[in-house]
Structure formats: C-alpha cells, structure tokens
Amino acid sequence: MIAESIVAVVPQGSRVLDLGCGDGALLARLQAERGCQGYGIELDDAKVLACMRRGVDVLQLNLEEGLAIFADDSFDVVLQLDTLQNLRNTTAMLRETARVGRLGVVSFPNFAHWPNRLSVLRGRMPVTRALPYQWHDTPNIRVGTFADFEVLAGQCGLRVLDAFGLRDGQRVGRWPNLRAATAVFTFERG
Amino acid sequence: MGSVGLVIPQQMFFAEPLPLRSGAALADYTLVYETYGRLNADASNAVLVCHALNAGAHVAGEAADGSLGWWDNLIGPGKPLDTDRLFVVGVNNPGSCFGSTGPMHVNPATGRVYGADFPVVTVEDWVDAQARLVQRLGIRQLAAVIGGSLGGMQALAWTRRYPERLRDCIAVATAPNLSAQNIAFNEVARRAIVTDPDFHGGHFLAHGAIPRRGLRVARMIGHITYLSDDSMENKFGRALRHAELAFSTQAIEFQIESYLRHQGDKFSEYFDANTYLLITRALDYFDPAREHDGNLAAAFAMARDNRFLLVSFTTDWRFSPARAREIVKALLDNRIRVAYAEIAAPHGHDAFLLDDPRYHGVLRAAFERIAKESGQ
C-alpha cells in the first residue's frame, strides 16, 4: 500500500531515486500522476522484472555497496521506504541518501508502536502488519523507533524537515513514537 | 512459442564507398541480411540485431541447411523478441566471413582475394554500414537495436552515431572498452593464427592453404574465456576420457581437452583467419571514451533521448558486471533513461546466448513496451 502522505511529500516534476523500489508501483505512480522521472534500485530478480513490466527504469544493484554510481545532488528526492531496516550499513546509507538527493524521505517500522511494546511486555517479539515476520526469519536486521531515528539523524548530520507517523496509511501527528506503526522522516543535509 | 520457420538470406549491394575510421574506405560492398516479422505501415516497429564474433545475419529461424539462427531462443512468434509484433533485421558485418563482403572476397581494386589487404574495420564502421542498410529498407527510426558482447558495443555505438535513428538500445554482456586482460587474450589468439606456417601473411588462400592450427588454438583460448570456472567444473571437472591414465603428454587425457579440441576443430573448418584478426581488433579498438579524454559520460552526451537497457551476468569475467555498471553510470551522469539487470547466471559470458528465464523475462518486458510504443 502506498501511503498518500508519502506521495504528497514528493514535489511535482521532481527527479526521484527510489532505494529498494520493490515492484516499482510508487515510481510508476509518481511518473503518471506527478510528472516525476527517475530510477528505482532493487536487488530481487522478481521485483526487478515487475518494475520492467511497469516500464519503470530499475537498476539491479546491491544497496549495501553504496550509491557511488550516482553523482552528488543528482536527484530532487531520494526515497528509502521500508528499506532502512534491511540494510547493514544504516548510517552510511543515510549519508549517501543526503549526498545524492536534496530531499531524503525515510520510512521504517516503528518498534515503539504500542502493540509492539505490549507484545514485548508479554515476553514475545511482536508480529504485526508493519513487522510481519517471526523473530527467527525476519529480514529486518535493524529495528529502531521513531525516537531513535531523531537521535541517529543528528549523528549523521541530517537536518530533519518533517517527521510523522503512519497508521493504516493515515498520518499520526501526536505521540507518533507510541501511536504510529511506521515512522516517516524527511530530511536534508545539515 | 514458435519459430520464424525457413528463412532465406537476402543481399544488398552498396556501390558508394564506405569511409572507414582508419581513413581507408571499402570501395563497394554487399551486406547479407535476414528479416523476420512484418514491417508496419509507418516502419516504426523494426529491431536491428547486431552480432558478435562468431555469428552473422542468420539470427533466427531455420536456414536451408537446417541450421538454427544463433539467437533463435530469443526471436520468433511469441518469443521475448516477438516477431508477431516486431520486425527484426539481422545483418552480417563487412569483414566477417558469413556472406557480407570480407577478406575471402575479391578486392575490386586488384582482382585478387582481399586476404590480409581487407581494410581494418571498427565497430563504428559496422554501424555506418548497418545504418545504410536500415535506410534502404525504408526505416527512418529503429524501435530498438540489440546486441550482446561485441554486438552490444555496436548497439551502444548506434546511440552515439545516429541517436535520432533509434529509440531503445539494449546492450547485453558488454563493456565500454576491453580491459588489458581482454586485449591480451585477443593478442594470444592472433599470434596463434599469424605464426601458423599456413598463414602466409594473410594471403593463405592464394597459397591454397588455411591456417587451421592457428584458428584452432585461437578458438580454444576464446572458448575458455566465454565459460565460467564453475560451469567448466560442472560440465567437465577432472573427468577423464579413459578409465586409466595414459601417461602421455600428447594424448587427450581430460574431457575438457577433448571438448576444447573439438571446438577448435569445428571452428577452423568454417571461420576465416583474417576475419578473426579483424574482429578481435575491432573489439580492441572500441573505446568511446577515448575521444573524450577518457570521460565515458561525455561520450554518451548525444544519446539523451535514447532509452537503454543494460544486462550483465554475474559469472561473466570477460565482460563483468562492473564494466556494465560503468556504462550505466555514464548514462546516469547524463540523466538518460536506463534500466539495468544483473543476472546471477552460472554460465559466464556465454549466458547471453542462453535462455535463463530471468534474463529472457527482462528482455520480454522491454520488448513488450517497445512493441507497444511502436503501435504494435
């Protein structure tokens, strides 16, 4: 599901790089509805093929190897949606995101969402829509919270422009660290 | 998925000289080509297929001698490059030995077989020759040009020389230039041919000879570089020809030896030695960045309106993914539309001729869009 509030932060006509673009649905939509152009990066064969079928310009690259292929400031917007938690080199990737794009947009599952807290209080790792995996087979190697990211952004020299939570695709403004399943941050180089 | 069926190669004669990069010219020449499918009314659905070292115009379908086209697994009705929707042109390059004017033909200036006197041709020269053929076929703009390996270099060169005469460029298992290692392999192959006593300075036909020994060794070297270590290991390993060791330094002991000798023998029966020299030289010379002080991005600046698909194979050590990514980067630096697939196929460079479903899936998706965009 593509949250309207994420589509909304991408300015009309902007050049977009979508890191971990999946099946390319978001890019296809940004191209069709917002006159954007750009590329998606995806590692998975099936998803690369899905992007090709949509006519999305997908590059099959491993994000763990960085973004050296892109020049500084080559995009208006770099999206890193539901990807951060799968990457080993989190801080390097955030710096790279800020280097190649003027605006960075990151989203990731908020581990401090209250059902997750309840689950851990009960002694079990959470399994929810945003965190659908069992602890032993999850691809999410970085689990963090909305509040954690605010700290990390500072450490990576990012200036946070906007931060909000998402629950069922709806924007959560108040107490996002407790009330949002997904954390969304937009930022630029500090 | 079907075959295009029986195909008859066609010929087109060009009386006007073809100026070559070297400064020389080809006085006149004939190109052998094949076409499959139907050119639509506004001639917008044509796809040109460029060949690599050991191939020609017979790309798909069955020739009169029963041989299948070299890219028949890709091209035909319902296949990834669908001839029900797209019109496909395969052409043999000048200097090759599969029908078009080459070293085995008569030099009109001397009345003797060209042999070693055939002028040195480059990738760009081939593209110029292809462009003339395409124009004569009434195609103002190709829907796409596709090629693998050396063919990929031609597809890339099209976007530099005639960017307005094609829309899509699909370059598979190729590189922006040859590495020193690649040139080294080519040089060993060339020395094997040139030092064969039957080579006679390239005028072996005039001596009633063919430098088969040199060609065999050249092919053996080339063949090793087309396969991956793993695929060779899986196919042959250390398997022996006979149950017991013969303790001979000359007899064939290992299956891999038998295979390479067989490939060499087959090749030396049909391939022209001068063509081998010419084509490997064309590979060596290809280097679009050279005239831009090594800046590959500058070399593609004129291709702004083209759309690219690059494909590489993870086990291809002759044209590695890293080399394909250099091309992708040059295109990105120009903000050119490009897609890139890196296929984890085990077969080395040869993978571009095989039908890995991930590889063909990506090509099918690209050609479906291309067909749609040409109104098919």
ipTM of the modeled complex:
0.95
Burial (CB count <10 Å: 0-12, 13-18, 19+), residue A72? exposed
Identify the pLDDT of residue B156: 98
Residues of chain A contacting residue B333, judged by C-beta atoms under 8 Å apart: 71, 74
Cβ–Cβ of A70/B341 closer than 8 Å?
no
For the entire predicted model, the pTM comes to: 0.96
Burial (CB count <10 Å: 0-12, 13-18, 19+), residue A136? exposed
Identify the pLDDT of residue A1: 54
- Per-residue tens of pLDDT for chain B, all 376 residues: 789 999 999 999 999 999 999 999 999 999 999 999 999 999 999 999 999 999 999 999 999 999 999 999 999 999 999 999 999 999 999 999 999 999 999 999 999 999 999 999 999 999 999 999 999 999 999 999 999 999 999 999 999 999 999 999 999 999 999 999 999 999 999 999 999 999 999 999 999 999 999 999 999 999 999 999 999 999 999 999 999 999 999 999 999 999 999 999 999 999 999 999 999 999 999 999 999 999 999 999 999 999 999 999 999 999 999 999 999 999 999 999 999 999 999 999 999 999 999 999 999 999 999 999 999 8
Q: How many CB atoms lie within 10 A of CB B222?
A: 22
Identify the pLDDT of residue B27: 93
Cβ–Cβ of A60/B342 closer than 8 Å?
yes
Cβ–Cβ of A48/B332 closer than 8 Å?
no
How far A21 CA lies from chain B's nearest CA (Å)?
A: 13
- d(CA A79, CA A186) in angstroms, rounded, equals 9
Q: Return the H-helix or E-strand segment holding A64.
A: none
What HEC string does chain B produce?
CCCCCECCCEEEEECCCEECCCCCEECCEEEEEEEECCCCCCCCCEEEEECCCCCCCCCCCECCCCCECCCCCCEECCCCEECCCCEEEEECCCCCCCCCCCCCCECCCCCCECHHHCCCCCHHHHHHHHHHHHHHCCCCCEEEEEEECHHHHHHHHHHHHCHHHEEEEEEECCCCCCCHHHHHHHHHHHHHHHCCCCCHHHCCHHHCCCCHHHHHHHHHHHHHHHCCHHHHHHHCCCCECCCCCCCCCCCCCEHHHHHHHHHHHHHHHHCCHHHHHHHHHHHHHCCCCHHHCCCHHHHCHHHCCCEEEEEEECCCCCCCHHHHHHHHHHHHHCCCEEEEEEECCCCHHHHHHCCCHHHHHHHHHHHHHHHHHCCC
Nearest CA in chain A to B372: A55
Identify the pLDDT of residue B25: 97
Q: How many CB atoms lie within 10 A of CB A45?
A: 18
Mean pLDDT rounded to a whole number for chain A:
94
The answer to whether B274 and B199 are in contact (CB under 8 A) is no
Residue A125: both structure tokens together = 């790792």
A11-33: average pLDDT: 96
Q: How many CB atoms lie within 10 A of CB B49?
A: 29
- In A, residues 58-97, which contact B (CB 8 Å cutoff)? 58-61, 69-71, 74
Nearest CA in chain A to B312: A60
How far A29 CA lies from chain B's nearest CA (Å)?
A: 17
Residue B114: both structure tokens together = 């060209």
* Statement: residue A2 has pLDDT above 70: no
Each residue of A82-137: pLDDT tens digit? 999 999 999 999 999 999 999 999 999 999 999 999 999 999 999 988 889 999 99
Nearest CA in chain A to B330: A69
Cβ–Cβ of A69/B328 closer than 8 Å?
yes
Interface with B, mutate which of A43, A59, A100 (most B CBs under 10 A): A59
Q: Which residues of B are catalytic?
A: 149, 316, 349
